[in-house]
Amino acid sequence: MTRDLTTNSETGTIGCILYQGLMGINAEGEAYPLLAKSVDISDDKLTYKFVLNDARWQDGKPITAKDVKYTYEEISGKHSPTFKRTLTSIDKIEAVSDKEIVITLKKPYGPILIALTCQQGAAILPEHVYVGTDPLTNKASNAEPVSSGPFILKEWVRGSHLRLVKNPDYWEQGKPYLDEIIAQVVPSGAGRTQALLSGQVDRIPWFALETSDYPLIERNPQLLLQPARKPPATDFISINTEKKPFDDKRVRQALMFATDREFLLKSAFNGQGAASTSPFAGGFPWAIDPEMDLSKMYPYDPARANALLDEAGVTRDASGKRLSMNFIIEPGEEGGSQIAAALKNMWEQVGIDLTIETIQPPLSTERIAKGEANIAYHGYSSGGDPAIGWSGQFVSTTIGSLRGNAARYSNPEIDELFTLGQSETDLDARGVYYKKAQKILGEDMPILTIHDPVDKEAQGAWLKGMENEYMFPTWRDAWVDK
């Protein structure tokens, strides 16, 4: 139930209703004080003083600065794949009083306020419930959450639904407006869409909505289909750069030339979104090099791919095969099975035999982190800032971590550029370093970026108050007009 322990979207959908961060994020992706009443920032951008709202946990105990310090140091700082990286930029966290918390940075960190949100794995958790326990097995992390949010968990019927009811002691006066929320478990994408069409459900989040159903929803005047308010993301294939022959960038470049990304866009993603043109998704114009265009650098060209493989010494045997590799995908990743099947056919043309392994998380995540995959397919969020999301794909410090550097790519120059990029607060200054990094990554090709999704979410026109929500809605402003 808490986003601090996983990047799983389903967990975030419920967890960010129940547990709040010091900061929230609005529909434009901007951070604002949430559990914090105010934030005071020093001129040198190193010291952040937060004053907490007068809020309580659902068991009646007050939410204090000690909860914040404990959460960051003992839970999210140790277990959140995204907040771990933020913690490395923090020098110290001080609970100076029950309602005042001071965070001092080692050096300026551009996305620090965004990083202090539930969406980025930094929801505040109750120290008195967690202290002395393993947060991974503590019931408050799953079956018995102790909410700080607008709703509390009343009932959980596994495989069926979760029932969240209005928190009578919620700190924002007059909220929430709804008495309860029922989160239904509907395994089939077609079943979810039919439930929305029939009015049995009010909303389908972006990660649970099939792109093939977009036209069906769009034609219904009682429904709204709209771009999801969430950070830019990318779909990519990681290549294990520690394994031969993938330690040779010519082999990785050959795989990019052997991949028809426009065909994948049409077949696996129903034409939604765009084929990637950069190692980053295109949602950060200040960080994107306009001259970087992977479609021009690596057009679909099997002949060029074959030539590069020959040049790298990866030659064909008597049967025409150059090498065999395994490809790990997770069930439920949109387009994953279609991409794997298409790549198997495409790469056969250059002598590569692909074995597809469909593995459920967390085993798939663990195997990828241990370097047991030759290649793997990922859908990856930027987290709202390159320092939060994209850095985890490329910096050497995240090799071996869950949802980290799956390519096991290590380049000191890239490490330095990402460090410099996160240590500025001016966007233009930060962009200089990220643009330099893209040129290097475009040459080294540790990952094959194939698709920039433009995810959409769907809801009934009768559901109101969701306009300022972001990524994982809190529902505290929602109401129904039927």
| Spatial CB neighbours of 173, under 8 Å, sequence gap ≥ 6 | none
Residue at 161: amino acid letter? H
| Residues facing 182 on adjacent strands | 163
Residue 328: C-alpha distances to residues 263, 285, 323 (Å): 21, 32, 17
Long-range contacts at 214-219 (CB < 8 A, ≥ 24 apart) = 214/270, 214/272, 214/456, 217/193, 217/458
Q: Which residues of 268-302 are buried (b: 16+ CB within 10 A; e: fewer)?
A: bbbebbbbbbbbbbebbeebbbeebebeeebebeb
Radius of gyration of the chain (CA): 23
pTM: 0.84
- Rounded Cα distance between 352 and 243, Å, is 15
Look at residues 97, 14, 12, 102 and name the one whose alpha carbon lies nearest to residue 62: 97
CB 404 within 8 A of CB 355: no
CB 146 within 8 A of CB 67: no
Residue with tokens 């031969």: 244
| Residues facing 463 on adjacent strands | 480
pLDDT of the chain, 482 residues: tens digit per residue: 788 888 778 888 999 999 999 999 999 889 999 999 999 999 999 999 999 999 999 999 999 999 999 999 999 999 998 898 899 999 999 999 999 999 999 999 999 999 999 999 999 999 999 999 999 999 999 899 999 999 999 999 999 999 999 999 999 999 999 999 999 999 899 999 999 999 999 999 998 998 889 999 999 999 999 999 998 899 999 999 999 999 999 999 999 999 999 999 999 888 989 999 999 887 788 999 988 899 999 999 999 999 999 999 999 999 999 999 998 888 766 678 889 999 999 999 999 999 998 888 888 888 999 999 899 998 888 888 999 888 989 999 999 988 889 999 999 999 999 999 999 889 999 999 999 999 999 999 999 999 998 889 999 999 999 999 999 999 999 999 97
